[in-house]
Each structure stands twice: as C-alpha cells, then as structure tokens.
C-alpha cells in the first residue's frame, strides 16, 4: 500500500531525510522510532503529500504522490504532530465539516460521524466547542477527523503524545485493531508502544534508516538478549561472580543487586543465541547453591535504541559498567 524509495529532503544545507526506502502492506503497523530531529515528521509530511520530496518516490495504493496526488491523498488519513484543531466549532460540527471535506454527504456523512464518535469515545463532549476541550479529548477529536473517511492508509505522528495512561491504552488498542485491515505508520518515542502495537519497527537516525525489523528481531540485537539473571541466597557477591566467570560460555557476570540475604547477578554469554545452554551451564555449576530465581532475558528495545542512535555514549557507559 505504501512504497517509499530513496526518499530525501533537504532544508538549505540540512539533510533532514537522507535516502529512506521501505514499504508497508495492508495489515501491517509500522512504528517509526528515532531521536528528536531524526526526520520522522518530515518523512510523514512527504508521504502524505504535505511537502514535496527533494528526491525519491512515494507510491500510495499504486499512485505516485508527486505525479498523481489526488487519488493518493484520498486513501490517506493523517494525524499531524500537534494537530491544529483550535476551532470554536463543536466536536459534532467539526467532524461533520471534516466529513464534508472528504466528500461525504447525507446518510454516509451521518454514519461516518457516528462511527468515529464511537471509536474515539467522544460521546461526552459531542456538543462542546473544540477549543474548550482538554488536551486528550482535543487529540482524540483530531484522531477522529483523520479516520472519518475510513482510509486504507493511516499516518499518525505521535498519536499518543500527551494522553493519560488510560487514553494511551485506548488509542493503542484502536491502532492495533485498525492495523488488521489497514496499512499504518505511526511515530512514537515510547518504546513499549512498539511491542504493544507494531508488527514492525524502523529506527531512523539523522535522516537514515538504521534498523528495520519485528520488535522481536530488534530486541535480539540487544546485549541483554540471551543474558541470564539469577538471584542466589547465602553467598557473597564476589564468590558468585568468580564462580560464574569460570564458565567457558560466560563473557562476564555483573552484580545487579546485593542484599543482606541474597545477591542478584546478570550473566552475559560470549556468543548470542545459546540461551538454553547458558541457563543450563549456570544451574550445573551452581549445584548445591540456593538459586531463588533464574530467567533468560529477551533483550531490550531501549538498549538497542541507545546503541544504534548514540553508539559512542553507549560504549563509554558500557566501559564503566
Ligand atoms: N521546515 C523546515 N525548515 C528547516 N528545517 C526543518 C524544517 N522541518 C524540519 N526541519 C529540520 O529537519 C530535521 C528533522 O526534523 P523532523 O521534525 O522530521 O524530526 P523528528 O524525527 O520528527 O523529530 P521529533 O521526534 O523531535 O518530532 C530537524 O533537524 C529539523 O530541525
């Protein structure tokens, strides 16, 4: 549904987006991750046809966004960052207006408004003017207008930004549900959202794609993937780490927490992908010791994000661990 090839955007001397390529099919939710200023919003603005690319091509539903923007834009619902909805219209009036702009009339318009009001939980504020709404409700109203025409493609720029935890949960559920039938791209700074909503995630840094995969694949790139964390009681921390470091498959053992009764240690394997073997090796070596808890870690997205987008800082930190 969305196909982007070698997309680039320069603002003066600044290359905000620098050769980005990817595609999103129906039934996929692609998460855009990246530090501030990475080029996420600029990419989204180009994909939705709001600003022209400096180079590269964008196809939506087979239509070229630059050559043939009208049918391409018809397929898209777009929630921009800080969506401007400061209006003295009521929520109901605003949604009717948005439906009309999208060419809906009569019964079709009524149904469309009713559908988004229900989906975005706007019943309670339907007759309140948009500029008096709380941030969360204003945000949901903007979200509702972006899906009023039931688009096949949704581009959502930080759709959960500024929402309370309950609203975040509702919006994530909504995106996941819509993602079963639509092609969705959404940007976020919240890494748990990637797990909660995305079928695939892409990390963008300084205008370039630096990682692209399922949340599981990305987590596997973490140093924590395959590490074993264990809590042992009745032992001194240094004798435990010394014992564990003797295992040939162990890279290093680090004390995570040292309490009066027990010690928690994280053990990193020398090579990735030997999960079972590491846990087994540890339990064999510590036979007779009191292991109270032991689990193999899946890997952490925040660790992958930091390592990819701040490699030098992350390495310095690593050296002092
Ligand atoms: N209209 C513009 N004129 C000049 N520079 C711009 C313009 N729009 C964006 N930029 C620059 O392009 C770069 C990418 O900005 P963009 O808003 O796409 O980043 P982002 O990944 O969405 O960041 P954030 O997570 O903070 O929203 C930034 O350095 C920004 O200052």
Mode of pairing for the β-strands spanning 28-33 and 55-60: unpaired
Ligand 1 atom nearest the C-alpha of 158 is: 27
Which numbered atom of ligand 1 lies nearest the CA of 42?
18
Residue 17 near residue 207, CB atoms below 8 Å: yes
Compute the distance from residue 16 Cα to the ligand 1 centre, in Å: 6
Q: How far is the CA of 14 from the centre of ligand 1 (A)?
A: 10
Report the residue among 41, 82, 309 best suited for mutation to probe ligand 1: largest number of ligand atoms under 8 A from its CB.
41
Q: pLDDT tens digits for the chain (321 residues)?
A: 999 999 999 999 999 999 999 999 999 999 999 999 999 999 999 999 999 999 999 999 999 999 999 999 999 999 988 766 667 899 999 999 999 999 999 999 999 999 999 988 899 999 999 989 988 888 889 999 999 999 999 999 998 887 888 888 888 998 998 999 999 999 998 888 888 899 999 999 999 999 999 998 998 888 888 899 999 998 889 889 999 999 998 999 999 999 888 999 999 988 876 667 889 889 998 888 899 999 998 888 888 888 888 866 555 555 444
- How far is 201 from 219, CA to CA, in rounded Å? 11
C-alpha of residue 36 to centroid of ligand 1, in Å: 8
CB-based burial of residue 70 (10 Å sphere; 0-12 exposed, 13-18 middle, 19+ buried)? exposed
- Fold of domain 1-75+151-214: Rossmann fold (3.40.50)
For residue 253, list its beta bridge partners: 267
Cβ–Cβ < 8 Å for 58, 228: no
Which of the listed residues 7, 8, 14, 47 should we mutate to test ligand 1's pocket, taking the one with most ligand atoms within 8 A of CB?
Answer: 14
Quote the pLDDT of residue 29. 96
> Taking the model in full, what pTM does it have?
0.85
Distance between CA atoms of residues 26 and 77, nearest Å: 14
Buried/exposed 71-85: b ≥16 CB within 10 Å, e otherwise: ebbbbbbbbbeebeb
Expressed in angstroms and rounded, the spacing between residue 20 Cα and the centre of ligand 1 is 15
So what's the pLDDT on residue 226? 87
Going from N- to C-terminal start, the domains of the chain cover 1-75+151-214, 85-149, 228-297
ipTM of the complex: 0.97
Phi and psi at residue 244, to the nearest 5°: -70, -35
Beginning with the edge strand found earlier in the chain, give each strand of the sheet holding 55-60 in spatial order.
14-24, 2-11, 55-60, 63-64
Within 10 angstroms of residue 109's Cβ, the number of other Cβ atoms is 18
Q: Are 236 and 64 in contact (CB under 8 A)?
A: no
Q: How far is the CA of 311 from the centre of ligand 1 (A)?
A: 21
- DSSP at 54: S
Tokens for 282, please give them. 């540890």
State how far the Cα of 272 lies from the Cα of 4, in Å rounded to an integer: 33
Strand partners, 167: none
Three-class SS state of 59: strand
Of 7, 8, 11, 53, the one to substitute when testing ligand 1's pocket (max ligand atoms within 8 A of C-beta) is: 11
**How many CA atoms within 13 Å lie on the side-chain side of 284?**
10
Nearest ligand 1 atom, CA 207: 14
Tokens of 274: 């030997």
List ligand 1's pocket residues with C-beta within 6 A: 11, 14, 16, 34, 36-42, 81
- Please tell me the residue having the least CA distance from ligand 1 atom 6: 11
Q: What is the CATH number of domain 228-297?
A: 3.30.70
Distance (angstroms) between ligand 1 centre and the Cα of 40 equals: 8
Query: Which residues share a beta bridge with 265?
Result: 230, 255
Beta partners for residue 5, in sequence order: 57
Burial 19-33 (b: 16+ CB within 10 A, else e): ebebebeeebbbbbb
Distance 250 CA to ligand 1 centre (A): 43
């Amino acid at each position: 549904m969305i196909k982007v090839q070698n997309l680039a955007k320069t603002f003066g001397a600044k290359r905000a987006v620098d050769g980005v390529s990817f595609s999103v099919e129906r039934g996929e939710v692609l998460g855009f991750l990246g530090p501030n200023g990475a080029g996420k919003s600029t990419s989204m603005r180009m994909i939705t046809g709001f600003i022209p690319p400096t180079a590269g091509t964008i196809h939506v539903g087979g239509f070229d966004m630059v050559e043939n923007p009208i049918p391409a834009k018809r397929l898209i619902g777009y929630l921009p960052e800080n969506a401007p909805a400061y209006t003295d219209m009521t929520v109901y009036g605003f949604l009717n207006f948005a439906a009309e702009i999208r060419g809906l009339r009569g019964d079709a318009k009524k149904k469309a408004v009713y559908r988004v009001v229900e989906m975005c939980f706007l019943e309670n504020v339907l007759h309140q003017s948009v500029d008096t709404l709380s941030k969360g409700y204003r945000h949901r109203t903007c979200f509702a207008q972006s899906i009023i025409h039931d688009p096949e493609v949704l581009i959502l720029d930080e759709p959960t930004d500024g929402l309370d935890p309950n609203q975040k949960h509702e919006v994530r559920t909504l995106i996941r549900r819509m993602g079963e039938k639509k092609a969705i791209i959404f940007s976020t700074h919240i890494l748990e959202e990637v797990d909660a909503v995305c079928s695939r995630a892409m990390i963008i840094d300084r205008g370039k794609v630096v990682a692209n995969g399922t949340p599981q694949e990305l987590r596997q790139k973490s140093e924590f993937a395959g590490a074993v964390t264990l809590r042992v009681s009745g032992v001194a921390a240094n004798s435990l780490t010394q014992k564990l470091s003797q295992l040939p498959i162990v890279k290093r053992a680090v004390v995570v927490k040292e309490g009066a009764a027990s010690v928690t240690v994280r053990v990193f394997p020398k090579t990735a992908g030997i999960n079972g073997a590491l846990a087994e090796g540890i339990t064999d070596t510590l036979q007779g010791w009191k292991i109270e808890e032991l689990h193999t870690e899946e890997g952490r997205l925040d660790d992958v994000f930091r390592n990819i987008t701040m490699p030098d800082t992350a390495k310095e930190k690593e050296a002092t661990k």
